[in-house]
A = this chain, B = another copy of it.
Amino acid sequence: MNYTDFDNTVAWKKLKALSGEAGQKHTHFDFAAKLTAERIKNCTIPMAGDLYYNWAARPVDEPILEALQSLADEQEVIVKYQALAEGEIMNTGEKRRVLHHLLRGQLGKPVIHEGKDLGEFYRNELKRFSGFAEAVRSGAICGASGKTFRNAVQIGIGGSDLGPRAMCLALDNWAVKKGKKKLDAFFISNVDPDDASAVISSVDLSQTIFVLVSKSGTTQETLANELFVKDKLAKAGLDSGKHMVAVTSETSPLARNPAYLDSFYIDDFIGGRYSSTSAAGGVILSLAFGPEVFAEFLAGARDADRGTLEKDIQKNAALLDALIGVWERNFLGYPGTAVLPYSQALSRFPAHLQQLDMESNGKRVNRFGVELKYATGPVVFGEPGTNGQHSFYQMLHQGTDIVPLQFVGFQNSQCGDDVEVDGSISQTKLKANLAAQIVAFAKGKNDGDKNKLFPGGRPSSLIHGKELNPAALGSLLAHFENKVMFQGFVWNLNSFDQEGVQLGKILTRKVLAGNSEDSALDAYSALLGI
């Protein structure tokens, strides 16, 4: 495989030529003329989980698509994806394989590491924690005082929090409606003691099982919160050994520790932000909604991963999404992107994508450690529609910067509980708002009063489907994981390490040890009363 910086590719030059003057902020793509019903019908790619990716309202035409296809070919992104899935050391910084795809399916050859078939290892852990969750749900495993568990509280931060939390929220209504929900899921993440304190006081500890998630077993915030919780369990007269399971790596200090009910394993090849489909997400999802729901979620992700092996960019949603994102970032100069799900159940999905994208591709050096001369990962933010409409959409419509938009919407609500007002149910109003926004952003509206003028030319994509169920959610998650991976390949960087988090950790330890060796650090510590 060849690893070339983006600005040294032939495709870069093609795209540069197509973009016109350097640094232009406004695309020449004429949305008002080009966004026809036919284009909307044609610019669609089926995804797994009965979803569709529609890119009609993104500023690309045939010549740009051709250049993007040649970029994908030149940077060998599918070859690299296949190699990654088969165990190539793609995390070059930490010299690790990148195997989250293997959690949900075998995309190619088995991955053998030190004589062990890792696909088998992951499947075995899945089987173990599925059985464990079933036993908790059936009441075969109970708390210290003999009561069945009704709450599951995950203790973890970053990838052990954001993804699993977003997934639990996404399926909560659905699981209630389908009669699958047995435990309520909660999360403790922040080292701020008020976080743990508030969660603990909202649950009956005798009916609560804790899921401690730390791959390394050394995460400062998580270990502090573990002891916070154990202290509360002890004060309630409950044996913490009967109320806590661990999700960690086999080499961590938490592994095989009799202080836990059980331990489930991941390994160094599952990055935190890619761990929702591992035990890091699987244990709590299986406890709350049942192992079969988690299995459907995995199947949705697996089907998405398979579809993503397609080389034709117009048949590969994650790849096309990635490439158009690169076009918008590097040639149209857009500094951020907003994720706007028209589904309250996806309220924390943007926060997960924020980590996924910004932690993966917010990098300034290539995979060999050489400084890059082009922009990489953008700022990612978002809130659910219609809430966002009454918040920051003003700036998206009429601000001085253009922010590309990623919409998500479903035909049906999850609960099916609705009311008709003025001739339409709320779900129809929700969808009408979504359709209206896409067109308003793209086409704008002229007005003699410039304050009421909408310039339009605001690009967006739409992922849509019938309903947000486990398979659709798995597909949606994998779509964005794979999109981020492809952008990393194009930008020639390592999307799988996070050296940018280290310096803060080192300085924090120095402050706590009273040994900062930096008068500025001492001065800030003093302001905060340390």
Contacts and interface: CB of A to CB of B under 8 A. Distances in A.
A529 B359 CA distance: 36
Contact of A193 (B375, B396, B417): B417
Contacts of A429: 191, 220-221, 224, 508, 512
B221 A198 contact: no
A434 B193 contact: no
Interface stretch (A112-120, A296-304, A319-327, A450-458): A450-458
A527 B53 CA distance: 11
A529 B142 CA distance: 45
Contact of A432 (B192, B354, B512): B512
A510 B429 CA distance: 11
Interface string A381-408: 1011111011111111111110100000
Contacts of A231: 419
A428 interface: yes
Interface in A415-443: 415, 417-419, 421-440, 442-443
A224 B419 contact: yes
B393 A521 contact: no
A275 interface: no
Interface in A138-187: 157-159, 161-162, 172-173, 176
Contact of A343 (B54, B176, B194): B194
A336 interface: yes
Nearest to A200: B417
A453 B365 CA distance: 10
Interface in A443-481: 443-445, 449-455, 462, 464, 466
Contact of A530 (B193, B336, B379, B432): B432
A131 interface: no
A358 to B, nearest CB: 4
Contacts of A192: 342-344, 384, 386, 413, 426-427, 430
A189 B272 CA distance: 32
A386 B173 contact: no
B355 A392 contact: yes
A19 B221 CA distance: 41
Given A431-B525, A436-B521, A426 B393 contact: no
Given A462-B527, A518-B439, A390 B501 contact: yes
A511 B37 CA distance: 15
Interface stretch (A7-15, A286-294, A310-318, A492-500): A492-500
Given A343-B194, A354-B391, A530-B428, A379 B397 contact: no
A2 interface: no
A112 to B, nearest CB: 28
Interface stretch (A70-78, A260-268, A366-374): A366-374
Given A37-B519, A192-B426, A375-B401, 14 more contacts: A37-B520, A173-B194, A173-B198, A194-B343, A221-B390, A335-B335, A355-B391, A358-B392, A359-B393, A362-B396, A397-B501, A397-B504, A428-B530, A432-B508
